[in-house]
Amino acid sequence: MIWLLCGGVTLIVVAGLLWPLLRSPVPVADRSAYDMAVFRDQLLELDRDVERGVITAAEAEAARLEIQRRLLTAGKAQPVPVRTEAPGQRAALTAAIAVLVPFAALGVYLTVGAPQLTGKTTHTTQEPVAGHTDADMAALVDKLAARVRETPDNPQGWSLLARSYRQMERFADAADAYRHLMALQPDLADGYAGFGEAATGAADGTVTPEAHAAFVHALQIDRGEPRARFYLGMEQAQAGNAKGAIAIWREMTASAPTDAPWINAVREQMAAVAQDAGIMPMSVTPRHALDVIGDAPVTMGGNGPSPAQDKQIAAAPPSNPPGDPATPDTSALKGRFTPEQQEMIKGMVGGLATRLAADPDNPANYDGWMRLGRAYTVLENTAGAKDAYGHAIKLKPQELAPKLQLADLLVHETDFDAKLPAALVRIATDIHALNAAQPDALFILGLDKARSGDTKSARNLWQSALAAAPPNTPLHDEITRRLVALP
């Protein structure tokens, strides 16, 4: 009888071991995706708390900055690859367990057991396993710090220590660890961005001059570094330059992949700053953070250009006479490029403009006019950019890209509380004819109808624009606001 009972128990145990192997593997959610979902919910909860009067707007803004910092950090985390076995491996493992476990159990029992005894009681003492506490985590990080200081030339150790301090919100310690990382890996943008983030956290969310210098250096290494761009936008907002902040964030969201994990946080921050300043984001031209701040290369430990750079800036060539395409005005680049670099840019843009002016109606020059329009935009030559995009439109009237670029220039010059310029309405009409779902064109045409008193047409256009605009964007919010305000 006892053997039947043992056999039954063995079958139950083997079945329990085999069940996970026989069923289909269950996908495991990525930890970073879970964290980002939680952070987004926290951002929404902040707005509800302000509406209920639980917290003040200033407290909400401080909390929003911290949540967005964590969201940006979570977005940079790499997903952990999940190891899967081939079907053959799974089948072999299943068969091995089914055969070996019963025989192994029998062998162990016959060797160390006592079949002749009816039973035996054994008392064992097991210590309870305590969960990790904050003190435990702090102790582990302190041990890590001690190990890192034993091998101070290991950048991976300093990087891990810096991230650990940052997660514990020990920002001053994190900044110190990042200093070591920057010294060991001076060409790593992530180290400078991490230092700037830690220094900002240590200053209760204020972008300090040293953090600013770190962010600038990170972007000089990698122009796409998201944390550096975001915090430089925050710095502009903190300085009262809402348009500068919006310009940075518009460029950031426009150039981001559609699945960038931080894009919604940036859009929400941009919408909040735009609302506080009474600015419509689409009226601000997107610009890269380095273009907005206009800084010369900055070295860590300083707040401005070096003496040698000051001499280079002072020696920059004067502005060129207007109207000469061969010698474009590059004064907008002063302080961001050396005189030699400015001369090189002047030669490239001037040469392109001269070549195109010699044969302006050649269809093969379409791409050249588009390049010239973008170059003039960077040089802040709005009239030249409009002219270049006008030539591109003339060569390819069915292309959408030059019309969108021209519309963006016109929007930047438009007061949306006054009558819209006829040129903007015309280009929006052309864009709508090529793409009836283009939300910016629908918004502009609706605004024109509303100005003329045709509220029915304005409502229809804005409802179409609302359906086409991505949610949680400044344009979507602006359309919603104006729809509600319609009589």
Q: pLDDT digits over 266-303, tens only?
A: 888 998 898 888 888 878 888 889 888 874 334 444 43
pTM, entire model: 0.47
> Residue 118: what pLDDT?
40
Q: Calculate the CA 36 to chain-centre distance.
A: 12
> Residue 127: what pLDDT?
41
Q: How confident is the model at residue 156 (pLDDT cuts 50, 70, 90)?
A: confident
Q: How confident is the model at residue 320 (pLDDT cuts 50, 70, 90)?
A: very low
> Residue 71: what pLDDT?
66
> Residue 3: what pLDDT?
52
Helix axes 401-412 and 366-378, enclosed angle (nearest 10):
20
Distance separating alpha carbons of residues 282 and 442, to the nearest angstrom? 13
Q: Calculate the CA 443 to chain-centre distance.
A: 26
Distance separating alpha carbons of residues 15 and 238, to the nearest angstrom? 63
> Residue 95: what pLDDT?
53
> Residue 328: what pLDDT?
82
Q: Residue 337 forms beta bridges with which residues?
A: 334
CA atoms within 13 A on the CB side of 476: 12
Question: Does residue 27 register a pLDDT over 60?
Answer: no
What's the whole-number mean pLDDT along residues 410-425?
A: 87
Q: pLDDT digits over 52-106, tens only?
A: 665 666 666 666 666 666 667 666 555 544 445 445 555 555 555 555 555 555 4
Question: Does residue 39 register a pLDDT over 50?
Answer: yes
> Residue 233: what pLDDT?
93
Q: Which domains does the chain have, with CATH numbers?
A: 38-75+148-304 (1.25.40.10), 332-485 (1.25.40.10)
Choice among 140-144, 245-249, 306-310, 322-326 with the minimum mean pLDDT = 306-310
> Residue 139: what pLDDT?
82
Choice among 22-36, 196-210, 360-374, 454-468 with the minimum mean pLDDT = 22-36
User: DSSP assignment of 125-137, as one string?
Assistant: --PPPPPP-HHHH
